[in-house]
Amino acid sequence: MPQYTPPLRDMQFVMHEVLNVTDEFKALPKHAEVDADTINAVLEEAGKFAAEVTFPLNISGDTEGCKLDLATHEVTPPRGFKEAYAQYVAGGWAALSCDPEYGGQGLPFVLNQCLYEMLNSANQAWTMYPGLSHGAYEALHAHGTDEQKKTYLPKLVSGEWTGTMCLTEPHCGTDLGLLRTKAEPQPDGSYKLTGNKIFISAGEHDMAANIVHLVLARLPDAPQGSKGISLFVVPKSNVKPDGSLGDRNGIFCSGLEHKMGIHGNATAQIVMDGASGSLVGQPNKGLAAMFVMMNAARLGVGNQSLGLTEVAFQNALAYAKDRIQMRSLSGVKAKDKPADPIIVHPDVRKMLLTAKAYAEGGRALAIYCTLLLDKEIHHPDEKVRKDSAEIVALLTPIVKAFLTDNGHIATNACMQVFGGHGFIKEWGMEQFVRDNRINMIYEGTNTVQSLDLLGRKVLGNNGATLKKFGKIIAALIAEEGVNEKMAEFINPLAYLADQMTKFTTELGFKGFQNPDEVGAAAVDYLRVAGHLVFGYFWARMAQVALREVAAGNTDPFYQAKLQTARFYFAKLFPETATLMRTARSGSAALMDTDAALA
């Protein structure tokens, strides 16, 4: 059976020693009183909930899956899921970072980030039920009418109701301009929606009293394409004027998808047959409103893979210390045993360290992004708010794609550590691989994220935002450039930062002449950008660790951090050289292939 220990020490290291979040909070009036003791206490309890309540349901939930009653269209999640959700609501976890005006606790997003990393490590399928509610809350908080906010936000904040995002249709996924769901205006100002949606995570269940669906649809006179999409809120059960639940709405589950992983989550086929809904935001401006939810979901998906990378690493490390197999190439290590533990073998260590480096680098990036979100919303200085929003927009596709690609690499590597046992269900490793695989696909495939990064976020403003992040990296290089002990971390980072400018300019020029050049290079480009960002955070973490060691701190945590940083820069970071070469190879080898693909 697998095990899980919340990585509280590493979270505290990133927050308090690398990013100094409490100092940042002092500049935010709403969070000025949040101190380290508060943060640590909240996360300790969050870790207990994840490890003790949801983690034990992970394998059983995967085995049991969800059940649909075709007569009633009701879905029953795996045993224990509903009770765990009731504990989640009773503990106030749903309200952690929500607006106090609607019953939230108003704590920083940073805490919610760490809570959800632990929940994803413990049980991604379960975590998706409450997780999607945050996106629905954000979209309605930003674009809802006063009446919609009054009706839905307190219930979403408390966790009494959950939320979904209903975008995908059988004939269209990312290309939402093709969607066909219709919304007919009614005399009372409401709308009747008719259409079909698929792949709706947590689309139907009995864990909460109501489900708030945010649905993209077309008005009768809407223009074609993405400019003719509107957003509607469509509850599972209609809500009476006094806030109580009325009759069942015309939106129901017609089927459940049979999936590779996340079996414990109800991925629903949704049918709307004259379902009653209300317009969110302006007519034909639905994508702008939905992108609030989609961007939150993209950060959340990266967090899912971060959680799975961490739990896979923990279990592979424990197994590698215990499993004996062959002798070390450099001589016997366990003289009292007939063979050595497999952790002595170089490639086993490479696999373990790969997962560890990607988990700890991903954690630093994810916490940094949520700190930016806190500053974007709550900082009193408009320039700081604007700059924070711009940087987090740049980093969002990297969080989504780089962390999920790394999760795929790491969970597979950790399964490999187990050898044949990794392929067997009872060890839990193959489930981590299966559950993670969807994260590279949904909320916009990683190719779509790459096109967004290179085409829109970088070339779209001639690299202005990339240059802003480049200045952040340059400040660290200037600070530590003459420190010999930091050279092994700073020198490769400085070299890539310099190369990135030339690399981006070259791709932009080629893309201007032929747009397929952008499409051909985008995936490789995002991975180079991901390593640039990870390199920055690994250099910062090494900087802190070196200072602690120099000050006489003998805590082995800091030596472990330095060793992992050295591994990252020696074995993973050099991937960028190959990626830049393949990106520069152009589109011809891909596009001039009609005979090969005939």
Active centre residues (catalytic): 443
Place of tokens 């066909």: 180
Strands 182-185 and 191-201: antiparallel
Task: Report the first-to-last Cα separation within the chain, whole angstroms.
Answer: 48
Place of tokens 């219709």: 182
- Cite the DSSP H helix spans in 323-381: 346-378
CB 155 within 8 A of CB 140: no
Strands 74-76 and 67-69: antiparallel
Q: Classify residue 587 by burial, with Cβ atoms within 10 Å: 0-12, 13-18, 19+.
A: middle
Q: Closest Cα partner for 438 from 395, 390, 404?
A: 404
The residues facing 183 across adjacent strands are 193
DSSP 8-state class, residue 15: I
DSSP 8-state class, residue 188: T
Long-range contacts of 134-137 (CB under 8 A, 24+ apart): 134/163, 134/296, 134/300, 135/163, 135/165, 135/292, 135/293, 135/294, 135/296, 135/297, 135/300, 136/163, 136/164, 136/165, 136/212, 136/214, 136/293, 137/98, 137/163
d(CA 140, CA 281): 9
Measured CA distances, 449 to 230, 341, 368, 551 (Å): 23, 41, 19, 42
CB 108 within 8 A of CB 97: yes
Locate 520 and state its tokens.
């051909």
Triad 266, 271, 274: Cα angle to 5°: 140
Sign of CA dihedral 93, 407, 124, 310: negative
Neighbours of 371 (CB within 10 A): 23
Cβ contacts of residue 105 below 8 Å, gap of 6+? 92, 95, 96, 97, 98
Which secondary structure element, helix H or strand E, spans residue 163, and what is its range? strand 161-166
d(CA 10, CA 367): 11
Locate 131 and state its tokens.
């997780």
Strand runs labelled E in 249-389: 251-256, 267-280
CB 503 within 8 A of CB 580: yes
Locate 327 and state its tokens.
């002798």
d(CA 181, CA 20): 47
Binning the chain into helix, strand and coil, the percentages to the nearest 5 are 65, 10, 25
Neighbours of 390 (CB within 10 A): 18
HEC states along 431-459?
A: HHHHHHHHHHCCCCCHHHHHHHHHHHHHH
CB 192 within 8 A of CB 183: yes
Determine if residue 256 is left, alpha or beta; phi over 0 gives left, psi from -120 to 50 gives alpha, anything else beta.
Answer: beta
